Structure formats: structure tokens, C-alpha cells
Amino acid sequence: MKKYLAHICGHFQPLGYEELYAVLEAEDISYTIVEVNSQVVIFETADDP
């Protein structure tokens, strides 16, 4: 099952946008980014269904 982590509007990138990715990398969280119509949705990837 994928866990929803964040939803970002591509037209308005809030402060802390870069920090979000830094935290994901620092915590060694495996994530998937899906972009649809300038909307970015980030899911935590997991092996279990």
C-alpha cells in the first residue's frame, strides 16, 4: 500500500519545498513522485500490499 506524503501545487511551490525532499532523503524514505496537470503528489513506496 502506498502512503500519501505530500501534495504540491506546481504553480505555487511553498517555502520549504526543497526541505521536503531533503527530509525524505535524510530519513532514507523511499518515495514516488507522480505529477498530473502541475499537481505533484508524493507517495511513500512500500513493498507490502
43 in Cβ contact with 5 (< 8 Å): yes
Question: In which residue are the cell numbers 507522480 written?
Answer: 34
Q: What pLDDT does 47 receive?
A: 62
- Domain spans of the chain, in order of start: 3-44
Q: What pLDDT does 42 receive?
A: 75
Indicate the pairing of strand 31-36 with strand 39-44: antiparallel
Report the chain's terminal Cα–Cα distance, integer Å.
5
Q: What pLDDT does 31 receive?
A: 80
Q: What CA–CA distance (Å, rounded) separates 49 from 41?
A: 19
Q: What pLDDT does 13 receive?
A: 57
Q: What pLDDT does 2 receive?
A: 61
Q: Digits of tens for pLDDT over the chain (49 positions)?
A: 566 666 666 555 555 567 777 888 888 888 887 777 777 777 777 665 5
